């Protein structure tokens, strides 16, 4: 499939209120499906809330949590793939900051756990041990979560494995807009691939978030970027021919050196 229509949404998340957050997610999925989207990406920790006070093992979601049922039903009804952030219960005493993937058959998986934990996250979550790519309609879609996308090698690994797009749910604090906009444009440009960025917005717990959801093309241009509005959606068509053309014209992956050799230090004056 040469064209894949995706949607990236943003909204406020209520700390610890999974039912309310699922309902908001369902409303965004409905809107995205009405515009023909096949994949819908929603922010980091959206279902459980980006607020340390609710990051307990008890608040982490099991994959069979009945509160996820409305989201599963929505995915089935519209035939879409939903990618959304949540805290996930992995073991008796371990949780991860993860991406849930809700399939068009309604099943829920958590195929990727955030590898680069930021600040307080490391006190509550175990880091992921591997990268992940999901395949939708023949498209390889690499997964990242927020801080992962700040490291060039994370998206680079996805691209090297065949990804033509990088999906990145995130939560950026108010005041970090410049870094947010540079990081994900750069990941697109570095790898000649699309980046689908979904940013949490509004207030959650004690913090405020700046949104900024966008779809970046393979040269790093956002076709549309949301501001900090509390509910929003960007829909875009990903074009495989554009990925191929960009990588041909700007072959960074081919020209990238495996090693830059031993670095020399030269004293002048």
- pLDDT (0 to 100) of residue 52: 97
- Nearest alpha-carbon partner for 196 in 228, 162, 233: 233
pLDDT tens by residue, 97-141: 999 999 999 999 999 999 999 999 999 999 999 999 999 999 999
Residue 219: count of CB within 10 angstroms of its CB = 13
Residue 25 CA: distances (Å) to CA of 32, 80, 87: 10, 13, 15
Q: Establish if 266 belongs to a structural domain.
A: no
Plot region of 202 (φ>0 → left; ψ -120 to 50 → alpha; else → beta)? left
Q: Is residue 264 part of a domain?
A: no
Q: Is the pLDDT of residue 1 over 90?
A: no
What average pLDDT does the segment 72-79 reach? Answer: 98
Number of domains in the chain: 1
Q: Is 188 exposed, middle or buried (0-12, 13-18, 19+ CB in 10 A)?
A: buried
Q: What is the mean pLDDT of the chain?
A: 97
d(CA 79, CA 12): 25
pLDDT reported for residue 186 = 98
Give CA 264 to chain center in angstroms.
39
Q: What's the domain range around 216?
A: 3-255
Overall size of the chain counted in residues: 269
Q: Greater confidence, 183 or 229?
A: 183
The answer to the question of residue 105 being in a domain is yes
Q: Which tens digits make up the pLDDT trace of 142-156?
A: 999 999 999 999 999
Q: Cβ distance 210 to 180 under 8 Å?
A: yes
Question: What residues pair up with 9 in beta bridges, in sequence order?
Answer: 233
pLDDT tens digits, residue range 22-72? Answer: 999 999 999 999 999 999 999 999 999 999 999 998 899 999 999 999 999
Query: What integer pLDDT is reported at residue 254 of this predicted model?
Result: 87
Q: Over range 162-182, report the average pLDDT.
A: 98
Q: Is residue 17 part of a domain?
A: yes
- pLDDT score of 6: 98
Instruction: Give a yes or no: residue 260 inside a domain.
Output: no
pLDDT per residue over 89-101, tens digit each? 998 889 999 999 9
pLDDT of residue 110: 98
Residue percentage of the chain with pLDDT more than 90 = 96
Q: Can you give the pTM of this predicted structure?
A: 0.96
**115 part of a folded domain:** yes
pLDDT of residue 212: 98
Does some domain include residue 121? yes
Say if 10 falls within a structural domain: yes
Q: What is the CATH number of the domain that holds 243?
A: 3.60.110.10
């Amino acid at each position: 499939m040469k064209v894949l229509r995706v949607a990236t949404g943003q909204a406020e998340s209520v700390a610890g209120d999974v039912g309310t957050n699922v309902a908001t997610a369902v409303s965004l999925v409905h809107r995205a499906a009405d515009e023909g989207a096949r994949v819908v990406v929603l922010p980091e920790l959206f279902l459980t809330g980006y607020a340390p006070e609710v990051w307990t093992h008890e608040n982490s979601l099991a994959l069979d949590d009945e509160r996820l049922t409305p989201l599963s039903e929505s995915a089935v009804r519209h035939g879409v793939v939903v990618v959304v952030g949540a805290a996930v219960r992995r073991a008796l005493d371990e949780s991860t900051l993860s991406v849930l993937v809700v399939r068009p058959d309604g099943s829920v998986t958590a195929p990727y756990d955030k590898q680069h934990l930021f600040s307080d996250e490391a006190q509550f979550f175990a880091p992921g041990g591997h990268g992940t790519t999901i395949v939708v309609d023949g498209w390889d879609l690499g997964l990242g979560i927020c801080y992962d996308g700040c490291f060039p090698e994370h998206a680079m690994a996805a691209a090297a494995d065949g990804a033509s797009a990088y999906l990145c749910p995130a939560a950026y604090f108010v005041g970090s807009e410049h870094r947010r906009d540079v990081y994900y444009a750069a990941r697109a440009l570095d790898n000649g691939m699309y980046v689908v960025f979904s940013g949490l917005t509004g207030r959650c717990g004690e913090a405020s978030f700046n949104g900024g959801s966008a779809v970046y093309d393979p040269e790093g241009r956002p076709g549309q970027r949301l501001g900090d509005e509390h509910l929003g959606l960007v829909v875009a068509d990903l074009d495989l021919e554009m990925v191929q053309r960009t990588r041909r014209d700007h072959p960074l992956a081919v020209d990238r050196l495996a090693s830059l050799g031993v670095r020399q230090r030269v004293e002048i004056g």
